[in-house]
Amino acid sequence: MSVEGAGLIRGFIETGRNLVGSYVDPRRWVTVQYPEERRATPENSRVYPFLVYDGADPEEGLRCVSCKICEKECPPQCIYIVPAQDERGRPRKHPAIFDIDISVCMSCQICVEVCPFDSIKMDQAYAWDREDRFGGLLLHKADLARPNRYYRELHPAEARVVDEHLARERELRESGVRAAVRASLPGSGEPGGGT
Amino acid sequence: MLRRLVHCALCWTLSMAGVAGLYILAGAEFLGLAQLIVYVGAVAILIVFAILLTQRRELLSIERLTAGSWVTGVAVAGLVAGCLWIGLAYTRGLGGAGGASGGPALETRELGELLMGRYVVAFEVAGLVLTVALIGAVILALPFEQPREASGRRADRPAAGEGWDARRQGGQGA
Amino acid sequence: MNMEGILALTGWGGLRWVGPVELFERGPVWLRDWAVGWLPEGAKVWAEGLIPAVAVLAVFGLLFGLATVAERKLLGRIQNRPGPNRVGPYGWLQFAADGVKMLTKEDVVPRSADRVLHFLAPIVMLAPVALSLAVIPYGRDLVAADPRCGLLFFFAVGSAAEVAAFMAGWSSRNKYSLLGAMRAIAQMISYELPLVLSALTVVMMAGSLSLVEIVEAQSGYWWGVIPRWHVMTPWGLAGLLLFMAAAAAASNRAPFDLPEGESEIIGGFMTEYSGFKYAIFFMGEYFGMFAVSGLAVTLFLGGWQAPLAVLEAAPSYGWFFLKLGVMIAWFIWVRGTLPRLRVDHLLNFGWKYLLPLGALNLLVAMVWRGLGGWAFPGAGAVRWLACLAMIGLPAILWGRLLMRSRGWGPRVYRYAS
């Protein structure tokens, strides 16, 4: 037979131990002191998309060719693209406007999966608090552009594969063999597929 | 004036608290505080619950008072106020000499000794009557065994009712 | 001590050398006399009543703020997290931020609510509790009011809380509010009896209803070391345990916080309250906790008496507030440890367990007094143990009997172990 109050006393000892222990040993803490102290995000975590650019100029170096595939695929339709035009009014392979409304974005990563040019990737920055909940959460091309270096920091392994792939592409394009390869091996020249 | 019965009950509570204040001003501290405990703490709650547990809604609101009842009400109120005024005006010593600043008419200790000595029979009989009332209330509230032929629906409710039985005891016993 | 004495103003116009012990002990009283001395004759009687009232409200207002922060911090530590630590040094100014937040919030009143009662309920809740703080002796001469029936006064004004709970619950026109009010009233009425019974034991032994005299009855030491507090006697120990259990219920503290029961009935009778009215309810709850804690200290823990003769140099009100702090910490620890009871468990516990034991404790106190005449060697220990057995054994056996009749016992989880 159990002693009266033994369960109560065990409970009080447990909570008392926590009470004293959390002063003595901060490793017991189950929370972090957020703004000062942050948990490292896992490599595969994702928040909102960003646009990758090569080189130094975020405008000219954008990989995006404004093919609008991501715009069409985006389930909540938070992407808005207007292609740039040259002086004769023909569409250039460059976006004039590329907006993402992150108040609508559901972080599904489908835009990343469908992009044939490895130009849109998922960001890991999660602090998106803004004073203005409409304009402040509508990101424009300039807000979205990040250098390739940034992508490499976020996803080193994945970025290496993408970089190798893009380099091979460029090599093929420059050596002029591209057309021949295309002709002989239909389907193998399919770009994208970052992983 | 007040058409909701609950308002009336709460006003009655307030007037009981006022009576307690009068007792205290008159030097009967113990009686005043006991009045507060019994009437404000227990009886008021009992009345309020009685109102809440009354099923018939038409009992819960009072018809608007007619002009005649207004006149009667004001007249009665004036009469009571006049009686109080006369009583206060012709009573010596309430205004400070023999009131709260003076000694009480009866110390609590003497009160206790009287209740436990000279008036012990009356005190115990009153206590006995209240206890009998309490037990009676408990028996009334107990779920009684239904005869076989009656449907068993009511008999299988005892567990659910327990908490409320206890509260009712509280209302009566406090 | 007079060697290091300092010049002090003792009352109006009296200057003399006093030691630090006397300065701290008598200081608050001198301060009051000095402040009253400035006033014209007609205002003196008012000031003498108002100054203690303002002092009590100010001290307990501040204590309320600090207690809310301390509660959150300790609860946090119990759950292995730091608790509020942002506003002010180590977060101790959090209550100021909370107060500003409460003040600036919108005061929402439901459209179909009874506006007058809805407005009055928080006031009716807070005012009597604040009144009950008046009769507790905080130090040797520090008591705002010492009526002859101090203890009765405490319980009498406390009974208005039931009316306030009903007013709040009924006027809100919300079924959760009304449920909460019914729970609160059922609980307060049920637990007032054990509370009063255990206090009555002390009244019987001390022979007075005045809290000042009850504290004075606990002065002195057995063999010069053990203070003659009531808690050092078997009936006092049992009384304190009963009193604390009933006090937690009477002040709606965990594990008896069913009237709020936020997981079941949202906020109980406070559901429809917001902004400062809610803050006043909150304040009333904490003041109620301080009041019953102060009463427990006064009745059982010797009030402002020091635990050892050598420690009497420290001011008496310091000892009182130290003990009060321990009581508050105990309440917080209990809240962090015990889960909430079910309504029927709560009422069964009150009526079938605490109430009989409270009545039995009264009997034990009588036996304790009756055995006081024993004079053989070891009589004290025999008397102590006999009385303890008289209350302790029935407590255990009655508890087991109740548990068995209900089929209660330690829970066995079939799949979790």
Sign of CA dihedral B32, B34, B40, B44: negative
Q: Burial level of C266, CB count in 10 A (0-12/13-18/19+)?
A: middle
pLDDT at A189 (0 to 100): 46
Could you give the strand order of the β-sheet that contains A79-85, starting from the edge strand earlier in sequence? Answer: A79-85, A91-101, A138-139
Q: Which of A19-28, B95-104, B141-150 has the largest mean confidence?
A: A19-28
pLDDT, tens digit (0-9, with 9 covering 90-100), for A96-129: 899 999 889 999 999 999 988 889 999 888 888 8
pLDDT, tens digit (0-9, with 9 covering 90-100), for C261-317: 777 777 788 888 888 888 898 898 899 999 999 999 999 988 888 887 777 777 888
| Tokens linked to B91 | 């009573």
Number of folded domains in chain B? 2
Residue type, C138: Y
Answer whether A12's CB lies under 8 Å from C337's CB. Answer: yes
Residue type, C241: L
Tell me which residue has tokens 């604390």: C244
pLDDT at C226 (0 to 100): 81
Beta carbons of B169 and C351 less than 8 Å apart = yes
The CA–CA distances, whole Å, from C135 to A88, B39, C318 equal: 93, 22, 18
pLDDT at A195 (0 to 100): 45
- Of A19-23, B30-34, C16-20, C322-326, the least confident: C16-20
pLDDT at B75 (0 to 100): 92
Q: Do residue B112 and residue B62 come from a single domain?
A: no
| DSSP assignments along C223-253, one per residue | TTTEE--GGGSHHHHHHHHHHHHHHHHHTT-
pLDDT, tens digit (0-9, with 9 covering 90-100), for A41-86: 888 888 899 999 988 888 888 888 888 899 999 999 999 999 888 8
Residue C344's closest chain B neighbor by CA?
B163
pLDDT category at B64 given cuts 50, 70, 90 is low
CATH 3.30.70.3270 assigned to A49-180: yes
- Of A164-173, B129-138, C362-371, C378-387, the least confident: C378-387
The reply to whether omega before C255 is within 30° of 0 (cis) is yes
The mean pLDDT of C192-202, rounded to a whole number, is 89
Q: Where are the domains of chain C?
A: 110-373+383-400
**What is the C-alpha separation between C99 and C346, in angstroms, rounded?**
33
Asked if the structure places residue B8 within a domain, the reply is: yes
pLDDT at B27 (0 to 100): 77
**Cβ-based neighbour number of residue C165 at 10 Å:** 29
Distance from CA of B23 to the nearest CA of C (A): 13
Q: Which residues contact C411 (CB under 8 A, 6 or more apart)?
A: none
Residue A2's closest chain C neighbor by CA?
C410
> How many secondary structure helices (H) and strands (E) does chain C include?
15, 4
- Touching A (3+ Cβ pairs <8 A), the chains are C
pLDDT at C4 (0 to 100): 39
Answer whether A191's CB lies under 8 Å from A182's CB. Answer: no
Strands A145-147 and A49-53: parallel
Of C85, C337, C399, the CB nearest to A15: C337
Q: E strand or H helix at B30, and its extent?
A: helix B29-35
Last residue of a domain, one of B43, B67, B91: B67
pTM of the model: 0.78
How many Cα atoms occupy the beta-carbon half-sphere of C382 within 13 Å? 9
C207: left (phi over 0), alpha (psi -120 to 50) or beta: left
The mean pLDDT of C136-161, rounded to a whole number, is 84
Answer whether C203's CB lies under 8 Å from C151's CB. Answer: yes
Sign of CA dihedral A70, A71, A72, A78: positive
- Of A4-18, C242-256, C357-371, C399-413, the least confident: C399-413
pLDDT, tens digit (0-9, with 9 covering 90-100), for B4-53: 778 888 888 888 888 888 888 877 788 888 888 888 888 888 888 888 77
Asked if the structure places residue B124 within a domain, the reply is: yes
Nearest to B49 by CA among B13, B19, B21: B13
pLDDT at C294 (0 to 100): 92
**Cβ-based neighbour number of residue B39 at 10 Å:** 20
pLDDT at B171 (0 to 100): 42
**Cβ-based neighbour number of residue C297 at 10 Å:** 29
Please indicate whether chains A and B are in contact, defined as at least 3 beta carbon pairs under 8 Å: no
Three-class DSSP labels, C120-182: HHHHHHHHHHHHHHHHCCCCCCCCCCCCCCHHHHHHHHHCHHHHHHHHHHHHCCCHHHHHHHH
**What is the C-alpha separation between A64 and A62, in angstroms, rounded?**
5
Query: What is chain C's length?
Result: 417
Distance from CA of C94 to the nearest CA of A (A): 16
In the predicted model, what is the mean pLDDT of chain C? 83
pLDDT at B106 (0 to 100): 65
pLDDT exceeding 70 applies to what percent of chain A? 89
| Tokens linked to C346 | 């709560």
The mean pLDDT of C343-347, rounded to a whole number, is 84
pLDDT, tens digit (0-9, with 9 covering 90-100), for C365-415: 888 888 877 777 777 788 888 888 888 888 888 888 887 777 666 667 777
pLDDT at B127 (0 to 100): 92
Interface test with C, best of A2, A18, A37 (most C CBs within 10 A): A18
pLDDT at C243 (0 to 100): 92
B98 touches C at CB < 8 Å:
no
Answer whether C336's CB lies under 8 Å from A11's CB. Answer: no
In the predicted model, what is the mean pLDDT of chain A? 83
- Of B31-40, B159-168, C170-179, C224-233, the least confident: B159-168
| DSSP assignments along B38-86, one per residue | IIIIIIHHHHHHHHHH---GGGSBPPPPPHHHHHHHHHHHHHHHHHHHH
Cβ–Cβ pairs < 8 A, chains B and C: 90
pLDDT category at C18 given cuts 50, 70, 90 is low
Please check the confidence at residue C51 and state whether its pLDDT lies above 80. yes
ipTM value for the complex: 0.77
Residue C186's closest chain B neighbor by CA?
B167
| DSSP class of C350 | I
The mean pLDDT of C10-38, rounded to a whole number, is 69
In the predicted model, what is the mean pLDDT of chain B? 73
**Cβ-based neighbour number of residue B4 at 10 Å:** 15
Nearest to B16 by CA among B52, B50, B46, B40: B40
Asked if the structure places residue B139 within a domain, the reply is: yes
Residue type, C139: G
Residue A28's closest chain C neighbor by CA?
C80
pLDDT category at B146 given cuts 50, 70, 90 is low
The mean pLDDT of A159-167, rounded to a whole number, is 88
pLDDT category at B126 given cuts 50, 70, 90 is very high
Whole domain around residue B33: which residue ranges? 1-67
Of C152, C189, C209, the CB nearest to B171: C189
Q: Where are the domains of chain A?
A: 1-30, 49-180
pLDDT at B97 (0 to 100): 42
pLDDT, tens digit (0-9, with 9 covering 90-100), for B79-113: 999 998 888 777 665 544 444 444 555 677 788 88
Q: Burial level of C394, CB count in 10 A (0-12/13-18/19+)?
A: middle
Tell me which residue has tokens 């009385």: C387
Q: N- to C-terminal Cα distance for chain C? A: 64
Please check the confidence at residue A91 and state whether its pLDDT lies above 80. yes
C204 touches B at CB < 8 Å:
no
pLDDT at A186 (0 to 100): 54
| DSSP class of C354 | I
Residue type, C394: P
pLDDT, tens digit (0-9, with 9 covering 90-100), for C157-175: 888 888 888 888 888 888 8
> How many secondary structure helices (H) and strands (E) does chain B include?
7, 0
C350 touches B at CB < 8 Å:
yes
Measure the CA angle with vertex A125, ends A65 and A142; round to 5°. 40
Of C153, C189, C347, the CB nearest to B33: C153
**Chain C residues closer than 8 Å to B40 by CB:** 156, 159-160, 163
Instruction: Enumerate long-range contacts of A22-26, CB under 8 Å, 24 or more apart.
Output: A22/C77, A22/C80, A22/C81, A22/C82, A23/C77
Cβ–Cβ pairs < 8 A, chains A and C: 43
